[in-house]
A and B are shown apart, each in its own frame.
Chain A
Amino acid sequence: MGRLVLLPLGLADIADASIYGMSKRETSMTRTDDHIDSSHAYDLPESVRRGVYIVIAAFNEESTIGDVVRGLKPDFPHVVVVDDGSLDNTWVKARQAGAETLQHVINRGQGAALQTGIEYSLRQGAKQIVTFDADGQHSVRSIPNLLAPILRGRAEIVLGSRFLDDSGSVPFGRRLLLAAAVLFTWLTSGARLSDTHNGMRAFSREAAAMLDIQLDRMAHASEIIDQVVRSGLAYTEVPVQINYTEYSRAKGQRAAGSFRVLFDYFIGRLLR
């Protein structure tokens, strides 16, 4: 895919109050042309950043969560960490780093933790919600790119993709697994996406309120896409950078785990 037009997200664009009312509903997939140059990434005005809630589901991430939160806090005042029943000091580290923390007293899975964080953010008055991974593989610099289509009123849901830009850094095994997931998503939900299992997503308030993640564990990624497609809200993909580290790869999903995910997903659909 060719590099698309780079449009810096201008202050005037965002300051325009009508931008939130521009959410034209489109049922079809809108191919992204909202990639903005990262040099303009922090042009987001303070008033916009205050309305953005970054939701992080964390399970036994004490070694990374503090840095992840500290990396986000200077730009986004609302960082919500949902400690999903960790057996280590994830919750303590997140709070010490300045995050708004919620705690699942027992482990319920990433899907469940994200839903908790989203519900909390909505109750706090979030205007946009971004989901972010706790293992340090996501970059704060990608967030403005992710928010741009929502702020411009072009989409209600924006999904991060590691394949739109430069997928060279994605390990081969992972790429294979993700390609299978892309095909699977196309077959089951009809959504033609380039990366279906990216933890980085942005939702407008309206879209987040529509979301109801029922699948507690890893099958939530496919479930979210199903709900997005069924909602009829406009969605799009934007490129995001994923930094694969030894740590994040060790924490990531194994191919063998895919069977469990598939089973959960199909049973979930059956019962819906």
Chain B
Amino acid sequence: MTMFQQIGLALMAIMMAMSIYAIVRRRGRLRVSIFWLLLWGTAAAVLIRPELAVETARAMGIGRGADLIFYCNVLLTLIGFFTIYLRQRRIEHHITLLVRELALARSSNPPPLKSIEPDGSGESDSRNR
């Protein structure tokens, strides 16, 4: 076993242990933890038997194992970005709800009128920029 495989396997073992811990202790969402466990497991399997990637790639009509791993990587990165984007949208929506509640709460007792000068000074008291 090469040094790369040894280090890689050690890392995968740590990651898998963390995923199993999360599943057993019910930390986070179960299906997310299972997804990570499967991902690290697959990575460990490919580290132990690199031919696995080549065989799977050939079976799928992709020439090289490295290409298969590259494509999977791109796909997972995109899914990751999308997940982050969805989370950001959720946060944005929550900000809107807060801003709305603040506007409604202040509607009965609005802050004093104060014009904004062209140089940006003299902002209304209600602003906090």
Contact = CB atoms under 8 A, between A and B. Distances in A.
Query: Which among A88, A115, A116 has the greatest number of chain B C-beta atoms within 10 A?
Result: A116
A116 B113 contact: no
A4 interface: no
A96 B89 contact: no
Interface in A212-227: 214, 216
Contacts of A108: 95-96, 99-100
Interface of A: 82, 85, 87-89, 91-92, 95-96, 100-106, 108-109, 112, 115-116, 119-120, 123, 214, 216, 267, 271
Contacts of B100: 104, 108, 112, 115-116, 119
Given A96-B113, A216-B93, A271-B86, A105 B127 contact: yes
A262 to B, nearest CB: 15
B104 A89 contact: no
| 6 closest Cβ pairs, A-B complex | A102-B103, A116-B100, A112-B96, A108-B96, A104-B99, A102-B107
B104 A105 contact: no
26 contacts: A82-B103, A89-B115, A92-B114, A92-B124, A95-B110, A95-B113, A100-B107, A102-B103, A102-B104, A103-B103, A104-B102, A105-B126, A105-B128, A106-B95, A108-B99, A108-B100, A109-B96, A112-B100, A115-B100, A116-B103, A116-B104, A119-B100, A120-B107, A216-B92, A216-B96, A267-B89
Nearest to B106: A103
A18 B62 CA distance: 72
Given A106-B99, A116-B103, A120-B107, A92 B113 contact: yes
A131 to B, nearest CB: 16
A203 B92 CA distance: 27
A123 B107 CA distance: 11
Nearest to A106: B99
Interface in B1-35: none
A271 B124 CA distance: 37
Nearest to A267: B89
A105 B102 contact: yes
